[in-house]
């Protein structure tokens, strides 16, 4: 079943790289009591993700803060070190990278996709969502091959 507006995010463990190394992030704790703009990309260093999706959220992070969003976060079915390198290459300081290395979070959301015909295996669909205190209040899932409704600009316009 795919997550919907009004649903609570599923419990999952994601990973982010900190100055002290990899740190496990429990979704229940991470999203509790905060407003988070979360977006997912099929893969770090892939064309649309690198040229459009991540840069949009990087340039709009101040606009999100002005709308009361506490944090902007990105998730992908990549390991935390790949997401950290991708963040550094794209000057994405201020966007928290949350690795879903095994795709457990994407699967729990019902937003996984089969990218095996491109050699990617199971990945996350491209989406953006607004999460308030663990509850999904906005959800924008892209159709395969598109980049429209999951953009930072679109999510901002819906808040």
Indicate if 74 belongs to the active site.
no
Instruction: Please identify which of the residues 9, 38, 44, 49 carries the catalytic annotation.
Output: 49
> 118 CB contacts (<8 Å, ≥6 apart)?
none
Report, as residue numbers or ranges, the catalytic residues: 49
């Amino acid at each position: 079943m795919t997550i919907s507006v009004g649903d609570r995010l599923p419990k999952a463990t994601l990973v982010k790289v900190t100055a002290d190394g990899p740190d496990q992030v429990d979704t229940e704790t991470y999203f509790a009591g905060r407003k988070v703009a979360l977006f997912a990309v099929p893969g770090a260093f892939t064309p649309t993700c690198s040229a459009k999706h991540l840069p949009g959220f990087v340039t709009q992070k101040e606009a999100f803060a002005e709308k009361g969003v506490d944090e902007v976060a990105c998730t992908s079915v990549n390991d935390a070190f790949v997401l950290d390198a991708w963040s550094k290459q794209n000057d994405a300081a201020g966007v928290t990278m949350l690795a879903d290395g095994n795709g457990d979070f994407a699967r729990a959301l019902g937003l996984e996709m089969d990218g095996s015909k491109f050699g990617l295996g199971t990945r996350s669909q491209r989406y953006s969502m607004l999460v308030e205190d663990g509850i999904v209040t906005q959800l924008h899932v892209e159709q395969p091959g598109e980049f429209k409704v999951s953009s930072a600009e679109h999510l901002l316009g819906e808040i």
